[in-house]
Amino acid sequence: MTDKDGRPYIKISLDYLDNPKIDALSDTAILLHLSLLLRAGQQKRDGIVSTRACKTRGDKPFKELVTQGLLHKIDNMTYQLHDYVKHQTEAQVIKNKHEVRQSAGARGGHVKNHINRLIYDEACQHCNNDFETKADWLQHPDLTAKTPKHEWQK
């Protein structure tokens, strides 16, 4: 998930430290849990983290998280953070938001650089869509076409 400033963030509830599972942990284990949440947020894999990442602060805090049911073993290489998807944003949702934003941006570039300048760009998905729907601007007599640059032209 990203805020208006574009930096991704994770959600931590205000009563995080009051949660009995968290309250039972040592400070190091709490720090490990937070760092794993941040890592999982960065990696966008729905709370799946590597066993190696789980042991970055040693075996003891790692075992605390497992004992409290905050980490579930998937296999020898991977663990999943407890209830990650329930609290955080699913990878698919992040991906969809990103795509919506990207395609809105691409659409704006298409209007500005292609429709307004009457340049048909083969590499532009919106130009291709307009071509298929026989958009008016493509009938304009001043229309020029831009073909994708090949390696040898760069």
- Note the residues at the interface with Zn ion (CB under 5 A): 110, 114, 121, 124, 126-127
Quote the CA–CA distance of 45 and 43 in Å, as a whole number.
Answer: 6
Q: Which is nearer to Zn ion, 8 or 105 (CB)?
A: 105
Q: Minimum distance between the CB of residue 7 and Zn ion, rounded to whole angstroms? A: 30
Which residues are registered as beta bridge partners of 146? 121
Q: Which is nearer to Zn ion, 11 or 101 (CB)?
A: 101
Q: Which is nearer to Zn ion, 27 or 136 (CB)?
A: 136
Cβ burial, residue 5 (10 Å; 0-12/13-18/19+): exposed
**H or E segment to which residue 49 belongs:** strand 48-50
Q: Minimum distance between the CB of residue 133 and Zn ion, rounded to whole angstroms? A: 13
Quote the CA–CA distance of 57 and 59 in Å, as a whole number.
Answer: 7
Q: Which is nearer to Zn ion, 95 or 101 (CB)?
A: 101
Nearest residue to Zn ion by CB is 124
Q: Minimum distance between the CB of residue 104 and Zn ion, rounded to whole angstroms? A: 14
